[in-house]
């Protein structure tokens, strides 16, 4: 089960000769599942852009779910790099909807328990004033500590990345202790690799396939599928593609 996490990230300090500006990433409230971008400044802010690096084996985010006080543009650049950009097409200052919150970032935990993961600002970070004036900024990184709850449902997630080379990660959740199997097959239905074949406790799990079969040999490029069976009659399957 993927669980949305709540956490506070570091404060980003932005300074100019005649202005004092801070951009803060923080949790919305104690029960919220979102991280908000907040701006405090004695000057109007007309645009903001930042890249945020995260560990995709532990965390994930859907850029299409990111929302902002104005139009916000976000993209996954790959390798755990998220780029976020927001400005007003009419050239007006950015006005937060509430509590100085400009952008909301919904992250997810990839079926893991009790993780500690670094969120790192990387690349060029931009805060723009009037007429696009760039304000120099310094940024501090932050370790996110997430305590996941035990799953209430049994589920199987799509592997990440997909397509992949040379390895991919599969997350799955088990809501009731018992025997679980997770097996990779080729499109002819022949067994390629048995990843799980044992009794497990109720929990969230993550396992990596290195593209090798049960004999330790690397398999050919192509499409494969994996099937999970768990207590309570649970059966689920997903497809994956290996590219070399």
**Domain ranges for the chain:** 3-146, 155-242
Q: Give percent above pLDDT 90 in the chain.
A: 42
pLDDT at position 132 is 83
* pLDDT digits 0-9 by tens, 128-155: 888 888 877 666 777 666 666 678 899 9
* Range of weakest confidence among 54-63, 183-192, 214-223, 232-241: 54-63
Helix-strand-coil percent breakdown of the chain, rounded to 5?
A: 0, 55, 40
pLDDT of residue 204: 86
DSSP run (H or E) holding 145: strand 142-146
Confidence band for 82, pLDDT divided at 50, 70 and 90: very high
CATH architecture designation of domain 3-146: Sandwich (2.60)
Determine the pLDDT at residue 12. 33
pTM: 0.51
Q: 97: Cβ–Cβ under 8 A, 6 or more apart, which residues?
A: 69
Residue 33: what pLDDT? 52
Q: What pLDDT does residue 6 have? A: 34
Q: How confident is the model at residue 243 (pLDDT cuts 50, 70, 90)?
A: very high
Rounded CA-CA distance 201/154 in Å is 12
Q: Are 57 and 75 in contact (CB under 8 A)?
A: no
CA pair distance 75, 66, nearest whole angstrom: 10
Query: Is 174 a residue whose pLDDT tops 50?
Result: yes
Check: CATH 2.60.40.4070 for 155-242?
yes
Quote the pLDDT of residue 235.
97
Mean pLDDT of 2-11: 36
**Range of weakest confidence among 39-48, 64-73, 191-200:** 39-48
Task: Note whether 3-146 and 155-242 share their fold.
Answer: yes
């Amino acid at each position: 089960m993927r669980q949305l996490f709540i956490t506070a990230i570091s404060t980003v300090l932005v300074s100019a000769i005649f202005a004092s500006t801070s951009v803060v990433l923080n949790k919305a409230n104690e029960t919220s599942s979102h991280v908000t971008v907040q701006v405090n400044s004695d000057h109007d802010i007309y645009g903001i852009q930042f890249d945020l690096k995260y560990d995709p084996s532990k965390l994930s985010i859907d850029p299409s779910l990111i929302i902002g006080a104005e139009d916000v543009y976000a993209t996954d650049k790959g390798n755990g790099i998220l780029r976020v950009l927001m400005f007003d097409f009419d050239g007006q200052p950015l006005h937060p909807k509430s509590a100085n919150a400009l952008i909301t970032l919904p992250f997810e935990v990839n079926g893991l328990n009790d993780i500690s993961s670094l969120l790192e600002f990387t690349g060029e970070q931009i805060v723009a004033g009037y007429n696009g004036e760039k304000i120099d900024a310094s940024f501090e990184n932050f370790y996110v500590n997430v305590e996941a709850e035990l799953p209430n449902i049994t589920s199987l997630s799509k592997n990440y990345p997909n397509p992949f080379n040379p390895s991919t990660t599969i997350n799955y959740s088990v809501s009731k202790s018992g025997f679980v199997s997770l097996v990779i097959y080729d499109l002819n239905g022949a067994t390629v690799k048995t990843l799980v074949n044992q009794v497990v406790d109720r929990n969230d799990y993550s396992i990596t396939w290195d593209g090798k079969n049960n004999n330790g040999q690397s398999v050919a490029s192509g499409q494969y599928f994996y099937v999970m069976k768990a207590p309570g009659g649970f059966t689920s399957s997903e497809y994956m593609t290996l590219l070399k």
